[in-house]
Amino acid sequence: MSEAPLLEVRNLTVDYVGANAVARAVNGIDFDIRPGEAFGLAGESGCGKSTVAFALARLTRLPGLVTGGAVRLMGEDVLGFTGERLRRYRWSEVSFVFQSAMNALNPVIRVSEQIEDAIYAHHPRTKPDAARARAAELFELVGISPQRLDDYPHQFSGGMRQRICIAMALALEPKLIIMDEPTTALDVVVQRDIIEQICELKNRFGFSVLFITHDLGLMIEFCDRIGVMYAGELVEVAPADKILTAPQHPYTRALGRSFPPLTGPKVRLEGIAGAPPSLSALPEGCRFSPRCGEAIPMCMRLAPELRPTTTGGEAACHLLG
Amino acid sequence: MDAPSQREVMAELGVKPRARWLGRLPGWAQLFVTNRKGMFGLAILAVFVLLAALAPLITPYDPYRRAGKPHVQPGVEHFLGTTRQGKDNFSQLLEGGRASLTVGFVAGLSATLIGLAVGISAAYFGGKTDEVLTFFVNVSLVLPALPLIIVLASFIEEASPTVIGLVLALTGWGWSARTIRTQTLALKTREFVLAAELMGESKWRIIVMEILPNMSSFVVGGFVLATIYGILAEAALEFIGLGSPNSVTWGTMLYWAMRAQALQTGAWYEIWPPAIAIMLTGAALVMVNFAVDEITNPQLAATRRVGPIRRFLKRRKRSADFV
Tell me which residue of A20, A7, A52 sits closest to A234, measured CA to CA: A52
Q: What is the model's pLDDT at position A40?
A: 92
> Taking CB atoms and an 8 Å limit, are A61 and B309 in contact across chains?
no
**B20 touching A (Cβ < 8 Å):** no
Q: Which residue of A has its CA nearest to B1?
A: A69
Confidence label for A307 from pLDDT (cuts 50, 70 and 90): confident
Percent over 90 (pLDDT), chain B = 29
Complete domains list, chain B, with CATH = 35-315 (1.10.3720.10)
Mutate to test the interface with B, among A16, A52, A62, A280 (most CBs of B within 10 A): A62
> Taking CB atoms and an 8 Å limit, are B17 and A80 in contact across chains?
no
Q: Distance from A274 to chain B by nearest Cα, in Å?
A: 26
Q: Which residues of chain A does B295 touch, with a Cβ-Cβ cutoff of 8 Å?
A: none
Q: What is the model's pLDDT at position A76?
A: 87
Q: What is the model's pLDDT at position B111?
A: 94
A289: DSSP letter: G
**A51 touching B (Cβ < 8 Å):** no
Q: Distance from A83 to chain B by nearest Cα, in Å?
A: 9
Mutate to test the interface with A, among B18, B305, B321 (most CBs of A within 10 A): B321
pLDDT for B323 beyond 70: no
Mean pLDDT rounded to a whole number for chain B? 86
Q: Which residue of B has its CA nearest to A14?
A: B3
Pairing of strands A76-77, A7-17: unpaired
Tell me which residue of B92, B58, B95, B44 sits closest to B262, measured CA to CA: B92
pLDDT digit string (tens) for B193-237? 999 999 998 988 999 888 998 888 889 888 998 999 899 988 888
CA distance A213 to A185: 11
CA distance A61 to A64: 5
Q: Which residues of chain B does A80 touch, with a Cβ-Cβ cutoff of 8 Å?
A: 317-319
ipTM above 0.95, yes or no: no
Lowest-confidence region among A239-243, B258-262, B270-274: B258-262
Give A 78-137 residues with CB within 8 A of chain B: 79-82, 86
Q: How many residues does chain B have?
A: 323
> Taking CB atoms and an 8 Å limit, are A10 and B10 in contact across chains?
no
CA max distance for chain A: 68
Q: What is the model's pLDDT at position A181?
A: 87
- Cα distances (Å, whole numbers) of residue A172 to A36, A95, A122: 16, 9, 8
Max mean pLDDT among B57-61, B259-263, B274-278 falls in B274-278
Of B3, B303, B319, the CB nearest to A67: B3
Q: How many residues does chain A have?
A: 321
Mean pLDDT rounded to a whole number for chain A? 87
Q: Distance from A155 to chain B by nearest Cα, in Å?
A: 21
pLDDT for A1 beyond 60: no
Q: What is the model's pLDDT at position B104?
A: 93
> Taking CB atoms and an 8 Å limit, are B301 and A18 in contact across chains?
yes
**A24 touching B (Cβ < 8 Å):** yes
**What average pLDDT does the segment B260-281 reach?**
87
pLDDT for A305 beyond 60: yes
pLDDT digit string (tens) for B159-193? 788 888 888 888 889 888 999 999 999 998 888 99
Give A 60-79 residues with CB within 8 A of chain B: 60-63, 65-70, 77, 79
Q: What Rg value do the Cα atoms of chain B yield, rounded?
A: 24
Beta strands in A199-286 (DSSP E): 208-212, 225-230, 233-239
pLDDT digit string (tens) for A103-134? 788 889 999 999 998 899 888 888 999 999 99
Q: What is the model's pLDDT at position B57?
A: 87
| Angle of the B250-259 helix axis to the B89-125 helix axis, nearest 10 | 130
**What average pLDDT does the segment A206-214 reach?**
90
| Angle of the A111-122 helix axis to the A158-170 helix axis, nearest 10 | 20
Mutate to test the interface with B, among A20, A78, A96 (most CBs of B within 10 A): A20
Q: Which residue of B has its CA nearest to A90?
A: B321
**What average pLDDT does the segment A136-162 reach?**
89
Lowest-confidence region among A42-51, A199-208, B295-304: B295-304
**B323 touching A (Cβ < 8 Å):** no
